[in-house]
């Protein structure tokens, strides 16, 4: 043997290895059974994170919206402080006087001193004031001027007649306070002077010394009416005092040309 050792053992015999048979092509393409958990139910691990560009655009839109809207304002309280004086708003000027104002819920004439900050008086408040004045005048006439009084005044046929005396007194008082107080826009009316003048004119029909005090209260109501109309933006006026066959104790009240309170009148006997 060439260069071999005498005691060398022959190599072991080779053992054949059998490979497993290959799967047919049909079996290789068979889809695997689906997982026990549907894909839709699997928890998602990825979360969308807005990019820097998205965040910048959102911030820019928010800032632009705030700038255009302006600073936010707290809601104002619904309760406002009411001016302490008047109650409502009527304003007549002469027998068919008119008066207009540009400002309140407290009525034909322009009110230059209205600034727009005054609280508006309601229409009903003015109408109610007129009703109160008419009621006070009626009470005054029946309380202080008895029909059995023998007072007489020249050119005062309706006043001299007991059947029409109260109606004539009511017309006279209402006419004076509407012309001299409600629609007097030049100066502040002297209520005491007006009450005394009315009393002096009608003194032949009464002897009660409380007349002036009660007339002064009526004048104060008329002054409230004046202030109410001064602070109201609408146009208020009383219609004519003349109506054939009637004694008009209080003319019709109109607001912006529409009647809001009917006249008080009685048939002239």
Instruction: Say whether 236 sits in a helix, a strand or coil.
Output: strand
pLDDT digits (tens, 9 = 90+) for 193-239: 999 999 999 999 999 999 999 999 999 999 999 999 998 899 999 99
- Runs of H (alpha helix) within the chain: 25-28, 52-69, 123-144, 157-160, 165-177, 191-201, 211-230
pLDDT higher than threshold 60 for residue 108: no
Q: Which pLDDT score is estimated for 269?
A: 72
The length of the chain, given as a count of residues = 269
Reported pTM: 0.58
**pLDDT at 128 (0 to 100):** 96
Please give the backbone phi and psi of residue 100, each rounded to the nearest 5 degrees, phi first.
Answer: -130, 145
What are the extents of the domains in the chain? 98-267
pLDDT score recorded for residue 121 = 72
What confidence category does residue 23 fall into, taking pLDDT thresholds of 50, 70 and 90? low
CA-wise closest residue to 240 among 93, 127, 129: 93
Neighbours of 147 (CB within 10 A): 13
CA distances (Å), origin 105, targets 67, 75, 84, 123, 188: 37, 22, 13, 6, 22
């Amino acid at each position: 043997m060439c260069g071999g050792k005498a005691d060398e053992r022959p190599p072991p015999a080779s053992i054949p290895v059998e490979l497993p048979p290959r799967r047919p092509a049909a079996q290789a393409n068979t889809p695997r059974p689906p997982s026990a958990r549907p894909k839709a139910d699997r928890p998602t691990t990825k979360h969308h994170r807005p990019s820097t560009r998205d965040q910048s655009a959102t911030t820019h839109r928010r800032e632009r919206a705030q700038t255009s809207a302006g600073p936010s304002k707290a809601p104002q309280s619904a309760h406002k402080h009411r001016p302490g004086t008047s109650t409502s708003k009527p304003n007549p000027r002469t027998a068919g006087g008119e008066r207009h104002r540009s400002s309140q819920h407290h009525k034909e004439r322009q009110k230059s001193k209205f600034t727009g900050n005054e609280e508006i008086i309601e229409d009903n408040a003015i109408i109610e004031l007129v009703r109160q004045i008419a009621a006070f005048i009626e009470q005054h006439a029946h309380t202080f001027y008895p029909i059995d009084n023998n007072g007489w005044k020249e050119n005062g046929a309706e006043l001299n007649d007991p059947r029409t005396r109260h109606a004539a007194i009511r017309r006279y008082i209402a006419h004076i306070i509407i012309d001299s107080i409600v629609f007097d826009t030049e100066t502040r009316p002297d209520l005491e002077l007006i009450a005394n003048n009315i009393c002096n004119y009608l003194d032949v029909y009464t002897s009660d010394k409380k007349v002036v005090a009660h007339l002064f209260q009526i004048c104060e109501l008329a002054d409230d009416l004046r202030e109410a109309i001064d602070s109201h933006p609408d146009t208020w006026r009383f219609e004519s005092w003349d109506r054939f066959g009637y004694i008009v104790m209080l003319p019709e009240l109109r607001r912006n040309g529409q009647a809001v309170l009917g006249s008080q009148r009685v048939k002239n006997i």
